Amino acid sequence: MPYFKDTQEFYACVGELMDRAKRDPNVGGKIAKSGIIIQFRYTDPEAVTTINARDKPTQPGAYVDVIHGPTDLKPDVTMSMKADVSHEFWHGKVNLVAALSKKQIVAEGPIPKILKLLPAVQPLYKVYPALLKEKGFGDKVLK
């Protein structure tokens, strides 16, 4: 059974994590330095999140723009996966390189640029379970 009942619940969890990360100087600030546009495409449920680190952010206090849903931006890198893989990744349970080699995550574009961002997002492994509990999704926290 999937972790998320629908797209709205996915955005309330993983989407909210991205929205918080864009304002975090240790995460959003480092992603901003990459200067790339990354699009995450999810299935089960269907969702799309695009991180624009190329252009100046449109929101005050943000280091990058995060767009949930369709956008006309052309990504430099596209990462496709099941929403469950993303959920497990943000718990620190998915090794990115192994997931890429097993095709649990399918990447298009310059993969080394994504791998360079891995240290920047690792602090989110602690943020995500706390966010789930805070939002009333404590039953989704993985042990």
What tokens were used for 139? 């039953």
| Whether residue 7 has pLDDT greater than 90 | yes
Helix (H, G, I), strand (E, B), or coil: what is residue 96? helix
Domain boundaries defined on the chain: 7-135
pLDDT digits 0-9 by tens, 76-121? 999 999 999 999 999 999 999 999 999 999 999 998 988 899 999 9
pTM: predicted TM-score of the whole model, two decimal places: 0.94
- The model's pLDDT over 29-72, given as tens digits with 9 standing for 90+, comes to 999 999 999 999 999 999 999 999 999 999 999 999 999 999 99
pLDDT at 1: 80
For the domain spanning 7-135, the CATH number is 3.30.1050.10
pLDDT, residue 121, reads 95
Question: What is the pairing mode between strands 77-82 and 65-68?
Answer: unpaired
The answer to whether residues 114 and 38 touch, using CB atoms and an 8 Å cutoff, is yes
